[in-house]
Amino acid sequence: MAVNTLTINGQLVTASQGKTILEVAKESGISIPRLCYLEGVSSVAACRLCLVEIEGSSKLQPACVTEAQEGIVVQTNTEKLQDYRRMAIELLFAEGNHVCAICVVNGNCELQNMAVKLGMDHSRFTYQFPDRKVDLSHEKFGMDHNRCILCTRCVRVCDELEGAHVWDVASRGSQAFIVAGMNQPWGEVDACTSCGKCVEACPTGAIFCQGSTTAEMVHHKSTIEFLHKARTEQKWLR
């Protein structure tokens, strides 16, 4: 297998052919912020937090979908990137209704943790206060569209790991939202197997277990990574 050599933050690293910059950085102990990326499902570069600078390129590149090529020089934590990431997080808070104090994952939220990590304590942008619904039609789970950041983890996990394709994205731009089935109440979608993979994959309090109270719920995205690895390595075949 061909191996590429590249430089990340001044560190010389090697990468197998086809590996992305994000995967190589992770293997080398270099942390790159991300929210939409989830090991075990396809990458879509939706959150734009993993953007990096590549020497010789005038554009920032998403590390989760950019292949690690021979000889490239990558910077992952410049002042420019830090400012951009803070702005991206501020926009996510401004365009949704993220009231952390009463959220079921307060203290266990990837969006909240990212805001703290990037030093964001307020948003410079005008809060939109959109009128979004909460779907409690499912017997086990709930969907709070106010806290959804359109990372599409739920869409990809349901499609690629469960094979049910319950979730999808409707509309465009600021009007985009996650839909169940053909824009039905979640509880009325026959394709849903109630497996809970979308619940575990969600980085915020958007998809939750009914009955959870403030700060009580913890998502376990490692469950998704374990299932993917087990299936890939055929751990359960006899």
CATH code of the domain covering residue 189: 3.30.70.20
pLDDT at 147: 97
- Inside any domain, residue 238: no
Q: Are residues 104 and 37 in the same domain?
A: no
Residues 210 and 102 in one domain: yes
Angle at 202 between CA 121 and CA 45, to 5 degrees: 80
Q: Does residue 94 sit within a domain?
A: yes
Residue 56's domain comprises 3-77
Per-residue burial over 168-200, b = 16 or more CB atoms within 10 Å of its CB, e = otherwise: beeeeeeeeebbbbeeeebbebeebeeeebbbb
Asked if residue 93 and residue 7 are part of one domain, the reply reads no
The pLDDT assigned to 3 comes to 87
Q: What pLDDT, on a 0 to 100 scale, did the predictor assign at position 174?
A: 85
* Residue 129 neighbours by CB under 8 Å, 6+ apart: 97
Domain termination residue (choose one: 49, 77, 105)? 77
CA pair distance 28, 164, nearest whole angstrom: 35
In a domain, 194, yes or no: yes
Are residues 106 and 40 located together in one domain of the fold? no
Both 112 and 91 in one domain: the answer is yes
Per-residue pLDDT of the chain (238 residues; tens, 9 = 90+): 578 999 999 999 999 999 999 999 999 999 999 999 999 999 999 999 999 999 999 999 999 999 999 999 999 999 999 999 999 999 999 999 999 999 999 999 999 999 999 999 899 999 999 999 999 999 999 999 999 999 999 999 999 999 999 999 999 988 999 999 999 999 999 999 999 999 999 999 999 999 999 999 999 888 888 888 887 877 765 5
Looking at residue 72, what is its pLDDT?
97
Q: Are residues 107 and 7 in the same domain?
A: no
- Distances in Å between the Cα of 67 and the Cα atoms of 52, 74, 122, 181 are 12, 12, 34, 34
Indicate if 156 and 204 belong to the same structural domain.
Answer: yes
178 & 67 share domain: no
Question: Do 93 and 161 belong together in one domain?
Answer: yes
Residues 99 and 21 in one domain: no
Q: What pLDDT, on the 0 to 100 scale, is given for residue 109?
A: 97
Residue with tokens 């499902």: 41
Q: Give me the CATH number covering residue 68.
A: 3.10.20.740
Task: Look at the chain and report how many structural domains it folds into.
Answer: 2
| Residue 1: per-residue pLDDT | 58
**Final residue belonging to a domain, choices 21, 49, 77:** 77
107 in the same domain as 57: no
Give the pLDDT of residue 237.
57
149 and 51 within one domain: no
Contacts of residue 181, Cβ cutoff 8 Å, sequence gap at least 6: 166, 188, 189, 190, 191
- Determine the pLDDT at residue 232: 80
